[in-house]
């Protein structure tokens, strides 16, 4: 049996998009994934990190057998996603952030029971697990509430329970904490980690154990950093880097990373700062009082040149701090801009 829970080889996906009314016959091509090579081991919590439109959801759709790749191959639990989807499906499950699956007229328990039946769980066992899981995510008191009456956060917790209920070998979580408040997101992250860390025994004696694997997509850097064993940074359909978060951050260990809060920038752009030879990357974000600059400098001494440029533009420094590299910095280093900037400008 393959040691990998998920394996992709030069995986690619091109969408054909219809043109406008006048150009109906013309089909444009959108490259959503290109030459993706990943090997995710059993028992691993693997993160896909990238901005909206980077190709994360497309990759998940291919792996859960909902979308065919246009090039390359992908295997889940050792089975090919195109040739053997029927062997993959009993072994996997998926939860997406903000999904509205199920039926509003059914209660939380009834919705979950229904989905458990599609995987062949005995009703009694399903109900026992539903109760247990709802207690674990803290919404057992909502078991008999109609799902249409749930808030976004509670609904997402119900969706998360749906994913874990069938005890998949490989679980795909696509932005699972989208729309959840800080506390609920923390609860979900803790729950995910706990689920992975306890490998269950298969039914019947002497049948060994199968380690659970989880593929998580997120655009929350902190979530990826806190949870994932390994992270792949993906942008415009390509995997730019793939390693342990600590190793990825080590790439920038020799650089000096500064965070500067300033008064309004008076027309100063990130490009102006990057034109300084000692500035490797600069990203800007507007704040209530002015702006926040994230700078990756070749060495600490380069800060003087930055301060000089700021003072020439009459920009006041309100706060300056040096910090350790984060995955956000790794992303900026690889892509050239922060994820927040890319999503604001709609650049994918």
Partner 1 sequence: MSSGAFLTEHPAKVTGWRLFLKTVIARAYPRVIGQQRERSWMFFDIVLPLGGVIAYVLVYKAIGAPAEYVGFVVMGGAMTAFWMNVLWSMSSQLYWEKEQGNLALYIMSPNSMMAVLLGMALGGMLATLLRAIAIVLLGSLMFQVQYAVANFFQLLAVFILAMAALYGMGMMTASLFLLLGREAWHLSNLAQEPIYLATGFYFPIKSLPFWVALGASIIPLTLGMDAMRQLVFPSGFKIGFLSVGVELSVLLALCVVFLVGAKLLLAHMEKLAIREGRLTESRR
Interacting residues with partner 1 (CB under 8 A):
15-16, 57, 61, 64-68, 86, 89-90, 92-94, 96, 99-103, 105-106, 110, 113-115, 117-122, 125-126, 129, 132-133, 135-138, 146, 164, 166-167, 187, 190-191, 194-195, 198, 200-203
Given the complex with partner 1, which of 127 and 263 has the nearer CB atom?
Answer: 127
- Nearest approach in angstroms of CB 215 to partner 1 is 14
Q: What are the angstrom distances between the C-alpha of 101 and each of 106, 160, 217, 229, 291?
A: 11, 11, 19, 29, 40
The residue (of 120 and 346) whose beta carbon lies closer to partner 1 is 120
Q: Which is nearer to partner 1, 101 or 314 (CB)?
A: 101
Q: For residue 324, give Cα distances in angstroms to 22, 283, 328.
A: 53, 16, 11
Spatial CA neighbour of 211 closest among 201, 202, 199, 203: 199
Please identify, using beta-carbon distances, which residue of 52 and 269 lies nearer to partner 1.
52
Smallest CA-to-CA distance from 137 within 111, 171, 162 is with 162
User: Between residues 126 and 228, which has the closer beta carbon with respect to partner 1?
Assistant: 126
User: Smallest gap, in angstroms, from Cβ of residue 171 to partner 1?
Assistant: 12
Nearer to partner 1, 122 or 289 (CB): 122
Question: What distance in Å separates the CA atoms of residue 158 and residue 152, rounded to the nearest whole number?
Answer: 10
Output the smallest distance, CB 121 to partner 1, in A: 5
> What is the nearest approach in angstroms of partner 1 to the Cβ of residue 161?
10
Q: Which residues pair with 204 in a beta bridge?
A: none
CA distance 276 to 329: 18
- The distance of closest approach from Cβ of residue 114 to partner 1 in the complex, given in angstroms and rounded to an integer, is 5
DSSP string, 304-333: HHHHHHHHHTTPPEEEEEEE---HHHHHHH
Residue 43: CB minimum distance to partner 1, A: 14
| Closest distance of CB 305 from partner 1, Å | 45
Instruction: Give the C-alpha separation, 133 to 126, whole Å.
Output: 10
Select 101 or 269, whichever has its Cβ closest to partner 1. Answer: 101
Q: Which residues of 62-100 are buried (b: 16+ CB within 10 A; e: fewer)?
A: bbbbebebbebebbbbbbebeeeeeebbebbbbbbbebe
Virtual torsion, Cα 178, 183, 189, 193, nearest 10 deg: -170
């Amino acid at each position: 049996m393959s040691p990998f829970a998920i394996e992709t080889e030069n995986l690619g996906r091109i969408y054909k998009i219809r043109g406008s009314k006048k150009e109906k016959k013309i089909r444009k091509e959108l490259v959503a994934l290109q030459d993706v090579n990943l090997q995710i081991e059993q028992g691993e919590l693997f993160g896909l990190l990238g901005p909206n439109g980077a190709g994360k959801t497309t990759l998940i759709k291919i792996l859960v057998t909902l979308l065919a790749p246009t090039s390359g191959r992908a295997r889940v639990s050792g089975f090919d996603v195109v040739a053997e989807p029927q062997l993959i499906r009993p072994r996997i499950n998926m939860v997406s952030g903000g999904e509205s699956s199920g039926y509003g007229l059914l209660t939380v328990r009834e919705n979950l029971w229904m989905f458990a039946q599609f995987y062949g769980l005995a009703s009694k066992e399903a109900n026992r697990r539903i109760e247990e899981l709802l207690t674990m995510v803290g919404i057992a008191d909502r078991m008999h509430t109609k799902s249409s009456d749930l808030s976004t956060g509670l609904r997402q917790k119900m969706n998360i329970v749906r994913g874990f209920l069938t005890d998949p070998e490989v679980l795909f979580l696509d932005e699972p904490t989208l729309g959840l408040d800080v506390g609920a997101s923390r609860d979900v992250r803790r729950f995910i980690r706990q689920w992975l860390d306890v490998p269950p025994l298969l039914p019947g004696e002497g049948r060994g154990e199968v380690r659970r694997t989880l593929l998580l997509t997120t655009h929350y850097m902190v979530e990826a950093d806190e949870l994932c064993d390994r992270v792949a940074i993906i942008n415009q359909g390509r995997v730019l880097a793939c390693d342990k978060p600590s190793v990825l951050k080590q790439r920038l260990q020799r650089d000096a990373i500064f965070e500067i809060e300033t008064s309004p920038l008076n027309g100063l752009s990130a490009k102006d700062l990057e034109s300084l030879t000692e500035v490797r990357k600069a990203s800007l974000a507007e704040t209530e009082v002015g702006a926040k600059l994230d700078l990756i400098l070749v060495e600490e001494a380069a800060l003087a040149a930055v301060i000089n440029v700021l003072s020439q533009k009459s920009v006041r420094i309100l706060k300056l701090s040096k910090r350790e590299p984060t995955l956000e910095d790794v992303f900026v280093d690889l892509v050239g801009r922060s994820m927040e900037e890319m999503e604001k400008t709609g650049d994918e």
